[in-house]
Structure 1
Amino acid sequence: MYDVIGAGIGPFNLGLAALLEDIPETSALFFDKKKEFAWHPGLLIKGTDLQVAFLADLVTLADPKSRYTFLNFLHEHDRLYRFYTFNEFDIPRREFNDYLSWAASEIKSCRFGSEVIDVKNAGGHYDVSVKNIEDGSISVYQTKHFVMGTGSEPLIPAEIDDEARQDTMVSTEYLFRKDELAGAESITVVGSGQSAAEIFSDLLQDEQYRRCRLQWVTRSAGFRELETAKLGQEMFTPDYVEYFNRLPFQERLNTLPELDGLRHGIDSDTLAAIYDALYHRSISGGSPDVYIQPMAELEKIEKQNGRCVLSFHQWQMDESFTADSEKVILATGFKPHIPEWFTAISPDIEWEDEKRFKVTADSRLVFKDDRRHHFFTLTNLDHAHGTGATNLKLSVYRNQKIINTILGREHFSINKKTAFQQFLPARKN
């Protein structure tokens, strides 16, 4: 009987495993069907940085003395002096991936090549069925508590016919399938977030694609810069999450679009690099073969005469148009990945609407029966925890609360003064 078992080993569950490793009285297992840890490997483009400071690692904001800090990773790999001279808070994404992979290999509770295929309530605990990917064998584990950290999957916003799918890739496949783009006469990137911008910038600045027509199209009103004002960043603090979680459901939904600029935007350096590349190409009468179009929603992709034809709707002018492209890259965001086995649990929990389950402040699903063996979720939390639900910094705070609930005591002291702003109405002393 384990204290906790988790499905999925991404940064969130990996951070939970790291914190539990230093609590000897707990027993835990975390499973992932991948053969080894990988954090969006198809998007680890050379020169791209993490969009949060390195302090938002797996453990530092809860326990800076842990051996699983990013700084200790640098120390273990003889890179601490070089990092000091590097003198940056935003670190290379590839190095952060190396750090996560190192932690996953060191933490004893992580099991790769193993997929959770079922979770059943067994009266006071859960029976978790796990399939060995290599030989197909199935083992059943018992646990007092369960954590679903199954992450996200690419969001495909349009209808794509079977032939066009062969020449269409999602952003997470970019580096794996980049060789397929070689020699293409035209490439279209769809999307307006950081991933779309990084892919477009990578193609724009690669001499190999100098004669390729590059197209960048998005339904968003513009290619907006990510909001980085310090007071704005206080929306990624425990103080704000606790306030947001106390709002009525509909008010939470109404608030989410107002917070979009803090998460759904492009780093200013990336935008500057794209503009500079376009400008240099235009010197001396040059005309870069580039087409950039906001406010155009992709409706479908179909193959005609050996090329992909993309149908768009310019929503502001209410006009439709098409664009031809040899290859298409969809960087159109992500949606929560909810595993098939969760369907059997759905009738037992409370829902806020048809898509969003009810979640407590410590990330527990709310069951119709008053059970004491908890089911936590790190997936599909925007409606409960706000735009910071996918923020690395807040994952540590969330894991602290989960561990405190599992232990039934305050093992981690939760910081109370994390923002200068006051979100709740002022009260007289």
Structure 2
Amino acid sequence: METVLKNNSSRQREAMAIPESSLSMSSSGSGDHDIICVGFGPAAVAIAIAMQDRGIQRRVLFLERQSEFGWHTGMLLPGSKMQISFLKDLATPRNPRSHFTFLNYLHQKDRLVHFTNLSTHTPFREEFNDYMKWCASHFSNCVQYGQEVVSVTAAETRPGWPAEYFKVVARDLQSGELKELSAKHVIVASGGECAIPQGLSKQPLPKTVIHSSQYMSVVSKLLEEKNASYRFAVVGAGQSAVEIAEDMQSRYPNSKVNIIAKASALKPSDDSPFVNEIFDPSSVDSFYALNRSARREVLLENKATNYGVVRLPLLESVYEKLYRQKFLDPNPRNWPLRLVTSREVVGLNQLPSPAANPQVELQLKNVQTGDLENAGEKFDLVVLATGYKRNPFTSMLKPMEGIVESPANGEQYLVGRDYRLQFSQGKVKRDAGIWLQGCCENSHGLSDSLLSILAVRSGELLDSILASSKRSEDYARL
């Protein structure tokens, strides 16, 4: 019995201890690395955690464009909550005993008991962001912030021979200096790029037209008068658009807000348990096995789980507000909140103004009739809640277009089930490779860009990298 007690005590001490990172990088941050990861958002942090949990010792470098870790900081609205369970954190689905679970974070912060009293599975977004920052802080020894990766190229040691490693060129965003790094394994986890409506994407936007990802960072700086009669436009029909409209009305009680949606109506999200199974890690296998046509059908069928939809309680709250406005005043132009549907933003006019922040007019197209029209209002701020594009990695990998395997189904790149980019035969050695994260929805399913799958996926990716390294070690022993 004494031995058992000692073992249990040891386990308790181990669980409470803050682990030191087993990852390292060269002292100068340059030269050879085993792994270079482009980006240090949630997906990359989950990968670092998976390495740490297994005690893997590698020379690893994470290159992050932002100046510090942050997860959708522009959308950390006061009181806004997560839309998934805290159990789908960066570690629990893969290893519930990890130091890096959300529950252990609460324990370390002395809030675990208080959190349980909330009787909720969905923490505040601000708290979940703090949890991920806490996780990221454990790996500060192998992260460089303010670094933009410009290109990744395969490096030939001998002409005509398969490439043995990759050259990664990064720009320091503060100094502008370029540096060249190298690694056998490169992970691209650079996140999404703001999607701008096509009608606005070919012109410089005034500072009073912003993407939703910037909202919390700039709104109070741009518009300082809390009681002013500001006029706002929010472009989009999803959760972010409606949440921003609600925040605007709360932040500026005398303001008027237009929600401009291409859709004919705001639609509810489907988060029922059976439908939610498409976000289970096991669903990736079945989705990947489908042909291109079947994949498209599945994505379209389940679009209501994630794109252009609003949680039902919030949707009903908005409808109630609109109804009450109509009851109190039949003239829509007097309403604090308006919903303008079936309209696409195709242009804007920046109005001359002596004020520091220019007003804008929006040019709209009726998507049902094709008619062009003016929104008829001057807006002090326009927020584009129009989502993200998941292909910023393409320019980064452009130098390797000639050696990347092109699938017959028309996709730009062929990606394996293990998220490994497929190269043409004989172009890259098997113990070197590139892995893509968060940009494989077409091949791996709707969960690819979401938090739900990060913990399990990071373990799968790590297995693939280790397997390629083992093949090299086995070959060297022959």
Query: What range describes the TM-score normalised by the shorter chain of this pair?
Result: 0.7 to 0.9
User: Bigger shift: 8-17 or 286-295?
Assistant: 286-295
Q: Which residue of 1 aligns with 2:46?
A: 15
Contact 1:158 1:299 in 2 (8 A): yes
- Rate the CA distance shift 1:186–1:132 in 2: closer, same or farther, 3 A: closer
Amino acid at match of 2:378: S
Q: Which residue of 1 aligns with 2:17?
A: none
Q: Which residue of 2 aligns with 1:350?
A: 405
Q: Which residue of 2 aligns with 1:270?
A: 314
- Alpha-carbon displacement from aligned partner over 1:82-131 (angstroms, at most 9, x marks no partner): 11111211111000111111111112433323333332222222233344
Choose the corresponding residue for 2:276, options 233, 237, 244: 233
Q: Distance in 2 between matches of 1:90 and 1:385?
A: 26
Q: TM-score, normalised by structure 1?
A: 0.88
Which structure is larger by alpha-carbon Rg, 1 or 2?
2
- Rate the CA distance shift 1:133–1:188 in 2: closer, same or farther, 3 A: closer
- Rate the CA distance shift 1:164–1:115 in 2: closer, same or farther, 3 A: closer
Counterpart mapping for 1:388-403 below 5 A:
388-403=447-462
| CA positional deviation for 1:229 | 1.0
Counterpart mapping for 1:278-289 below 5 A:
278-279=322-323, 288-289=335-336
Contact 1:205 1:277 in 2 (8 A): no
| CA positional deviation for 1:406 | 1.0
SS of 1:406's equivalent in the other structure is helix
| CA positional deviation for 1:349 | 1.1
Amino acid at match of 1:392: L
Q: Which residue of 1 aligns with 2:212?
A: 171
| CA positional deviation for 1:263 | 0.8
User: Bigger shift: 348-357 or 392-401?
Assistant: 348-357
Contact 2:439 2:449 in 1 (8 A): no
How many residue pairs align between the two structures?
Answer: 408
Contact 1:119 1:126 in 2 (8 A): yes
| CA positional deviation for 1:266 | 1.1
| CA positional deviation for 1:379 | 3.6
Q: Percent identity?
A: 26
Q: Which residue of 2 aligns with 1:418?
A: none
Contact 2:153 2:397 in 1 (8 A): no
- Rate the CA distance shift 1:379–1:357 in 2: closer, same or farther, 3 A: farther
Q: Which residue of 2 aligns with 1:191?
A: 236
User: Bigger shift: 334-343 or 241-250?
Assistant: 334-343
Q: Any stretches of 5+ residues in structure 1 without a counterpart?
A: 412-429
| CA positional deviation for 1:222 | 1.8
Q: Distance in 2 between matches of 1:188 and 1:82?
A: 39
Q: Which residue of 1 aligns with 2:304?
A: 261
- Rate the CA distance shift 1:138–1:296 in 2: closer, same or farther, 3 A: closer
Contact 2:249 2:256 in 1 (8 A): no
Contact 1:164 1:308 in 2 (8 A): no
User: Bigger shift: 308-317 or 52-61?
Assistant: 308-317
Query: Is 2:396 the partner of 1:341?
Result: yes
- Alpha-carbon displacement from aligned partner over 1:321-375 (angstroms, at most 9, x marks no partner): 2202322111111102226432112222123466632211111111113531110
Query: Is 2:107 the partner of 1:52?
Result: no
Counterpart mapping for 1:38-117 below 5 A:
38-107=70-139, 108-117=141-150
Amino acid at match of 2:197: P
- Rate the CA distance shift 1:119–1:229 in 2: closer, same or farther, 3 A: same
Query: Is 2:385 the partner of 1:331?
Result: yes
Q: Which residue of 2 aligns with 1:312?
A: 364
Amino acid at match of 1:167: T
